[in-house]
Amino acid sequence: MGDALKTVTDFPRSIREVEDMGIVMPDGTRLSARVWLPQDAAEHPVPAVLEYIPYRKRDGTLPRDELMHPYVAGHGYACVRVDMRGNGDSDGLMTDEYTAQELQDACDVIAWLAAQPWCTGAVGMMGKSWGGFNCLQTAFLQPPALKAVISVCSTTDRFADDIHFKGGCLLGENFGWGAVMLSFSSRPADPALRPDWRADWLRRLEANPWLAPRWAAHQARDAYWQHGSICEDFARVQVPVLSIGGWADNYMNTVDALVRHVGAKGIIGPWVHQYPHTAVPGPAIGFLQEALRWWDRWLKGLPNGAEADPAMRAYMLHSAPPDASARHRAGHWVAEADWPSPQVTAQDLHLGVTADGGGILGQVETSGFERIVSTAQHLGLWAGEFFPMGLNAEMPGDQAPDDALSLCFDGPVLDAPLSLLGAARLRLRLASDQPLGLVVARLCDVAPDGTSVRIAHGMLNLCHRHDRAAPEPMTPGKAEEISFDLDQMAYRLSPGHRLRLALSNSYWPFLWPSPAKAQLTLTQGRLTLPLHQGGDSWSPPAPEAATPWAHRVLRKGQSRRCVETDLITGARALCVLEDGGDVENLSHGLCTGETLTERWEIHPDDPLSARATHVWEQRLSREAWRVRTQVTAQMFGDASHLHMHATLAAWEGDELIFSRDFKEKVPRRFV
């Protein structure tokens, strides 16, 4: 967790909990809900707040659920945490993410909640990540009872800003998250709630999809990605939206998009992919108080002025030494009444070359230079995770090793602070010697001691230089103008530091490499920066939550993250161990545990040497009952195809009761 979290036990309304409330869909599928609501809700109905995700309310999200939902319920709401069909304790089967069935179920759940005698008929929807996505997607469908949304760490564009593609580049996380979902969805319902758990489990195992190849096959922004992307028609989102993100997470662009296009209120802090009352790096904020303020205004109609809050509240990071496990980031909050902010002006810096061949960022436009970008395939080992979850070196580390492998353009040493708020835009003139390729730009804060902190990054699959919906390969040797945005940022560089733009055409394992080692010839470039002139500040409430869950640690976990170099072959590998240990829930006796190992290996000179191997194990038990699942997933590529293999195995006690192999390949059309 982040900053000290105050535990609150005294609430305006006493609450009761229903651990398994059945919500039956029109097709007869029973969804299981855990509900917290005031004791007197039958006599004094309250609005409902729905969180609807596949991550298992009985064990998966239970620790965070018990911090949040009783707190909100104690202030006069019915908080409803629903397992999606095919997950946790709910019936049915899951086939993909954000399907039409998933979203229709959400609309049907909302209608069911609004009709309950303990509900006023007003429903809000909230969530982080998957739940942040589907609450926006549900708002897009306009169910009548949905009155407001709180979306945390989410996206408006499933192709451009999710774990599959970024700038049209295939993310390593596409494979990683495919392995995650194959593992997560392999677990059975709790026998204490589902007497038919075993038959249901076998149906789930048989139907469990290996989604990574399906996702990777859609290499253009086609109808598959348009579904569920609310950017297709922002005007359909008619309810008030509070959008929250974190600078250490790769969903930071959504806050800007929602504030601009649906009139949302935005808050973005220094955080990883977590709710901001528990997230690192600190400072954490009182997310639950902010949520209550939102719900009070839009679900209860209380005139608290939430609609007049600043359009954007952003935590501006200050220069600090690089730390991939930072517990706290120095900085200050800025509050912008309007967005885009009138306090931001554009400044152009031009890419140039000094007499001795060094790269510079300067005020004067230069031409006539020629620089080559053809970087080692292992560049990117210090990039961090797409969505870091905590402190285990998941955030970007010192960028100096990656900078040393990149083509760098440095600004002058600063004699005054430089504040940036918004997205930088990069324009390049370049040619490629290969039809398929990519370019990555990192904006870094370089300290006097040479350490380098990543401020923001951006990337472009060169096949997507004109149109994401209709990619086309480059013509080898033909110079073209390309442009793309780097991610949103709020950052203040200290005097004595300098700004660096680092360019590469590899970024492993953040991006899957192109099939052939390419050479880009750069002849011109311009970087447009969003300079912030200062403005109002914001003082957020301190973090609070309800009583943490009661549990006992049965086996302590461990974490490890290291970079290996094979001194014989020269191959490099990022190796990860995340062993969560095993714990017992003291409320209902369920024991759970999970372990993950990852290996991302590549040779510096060979993009086709890239190989990822992930192994996930899930463990569930109670007294004599014991089950376990294991997923082993591998990805590699050749010149024409991406190959993705997986094995799913399940044990009841010591008996192997299910095993299935997946072996798929995807044509490399644009990646």
Task: Please give the pLDDT value at position 320.
Answer: 98
**Domains of the chain from N-terminus onward:** 6-168+219-310 (3.40.50.1820), 183-218+550-586+589-671 (no CATH), 344-532 (2.60.120.260)
Query: In this model, does residue 217 exceed pLDDT 80?
Result: yes
Task: Please give the pLDDT value at position 132.
Answer: 98
R_g of the chain computed on alpha carbons? 25
Query: In this model, does residue 367 exceed pLDDT 80?
Result: no
Cis peptide before 240 (omega within 30 of 0): no
- Neighbouring CB atoms inside 10 A of 162's CB total 28
Query: In this model, does residue 220 exceed pLDDT 90?
Result: yes
C-alpha 520/C-alpha 669 separation (Å) is: 20
* Average confidence score pLDDT of the chain: 97
Confidence band (pLDDT; 50, 70, 90) for 609? very high
**pTM (2 decimals)?**
0.97
C-alpha 641/C-alpha 608 separation (Å) is: 10
Cis peptide before 604 (omega within 30 of 0): no
Read off the pLDDT of each residue in 220-244 and give the average, rounded to a whole number: 98
C-alpha 45/C-alpha 103 separation (Å) is: 26
Please name the amino acid found at residue 310.
Answer: P
Backbone angles phi, psi at 19, to 5 degrees: -80, -20
* CA-to-CA dists, residue 323 to 281, 391, 501, 579, angstroms: 10, 10, 20, 22
Cα-based torsion angle of the residue sequence 170, 127, 629, 172 in order, rounded to the nearest 10 degrees: 10
Query: In this model, does residue 2 exceed pLDDT 80?
Result: no
Tokens of 147: 């009155």
Read off the pLDDT of each residue in 387-415 and give the average, rounded to a whole number: 97
Which of 58-72, 355-369, 509-523 shows the lowest mean pLDDT across its residues? 355-369
Read off the pLDDT of each residue in 85-108 and give the average, rounded to a whole number: 98
Task: Please give the pLDDT value at position 535.
Answer: 83
pLDDT digits (tens, 9 = 90+) for 487-508: 999 999 999 999 999 999 999 9
Task: Please give the pLDDT value at position 1.
Answer: 43
Tokens of 39: 């004791």
* CA-to-CA dists, residue 162 to 17, 103, 170, 490, 546, angstroms: 34, 18, 11, 21, 31
Task: Please give the pLDDT value at position 357.
Answer: 85
Tokens of 619: 């463990």
Q: Are strands 119-128 and 655-667 parallel, antiparallel or unpaired?
A: unpaired
Q: What percentage of the chain reaches a pLDDT higher than 90?
A: 97
Using the structure block, give the residue that is written with the tokens 């010839």.
521
pLDDT digits (tens, 9 = 90+) for 530-566: 999 988 999 999 999 999 999 999 999 999 999 999 9
pLDDT digits (tens, 9 = 90+) for 137-184: 999 999 999 999 999 999 999 999 999 999 999 999 999 999 999 999
Cα-based torsion angle of the residue sequence 248, 254, 256, 259 in order, rounded to the nearest 10 degrees: -130
Q: What percentage of the chain reaches a pLDDT higher than 70?
A: 100
Query: In this model, does residue 453 exceed pLDDT 50?
Result: yes
- Length of the chain measured in residues: 671
Strand-pair partners of 474: none
**CA 134 to centroid of chain Cα atoms:** 14
Check: CB of residue 607 under 8 Å from CB of residue 514: yes
pLDDT digits (tens, 9 = 90+) for 309-351: 999 999 999 999 999 999 999 999 999 999 999 999 999 999 9
pLDDT digits (tens, 9 = 90+) for 502-539: 999 999 999 999 999 999 999 999 999 999 998 899 99
User: 3-state DSSP call for residue 508?
Assistant: coil
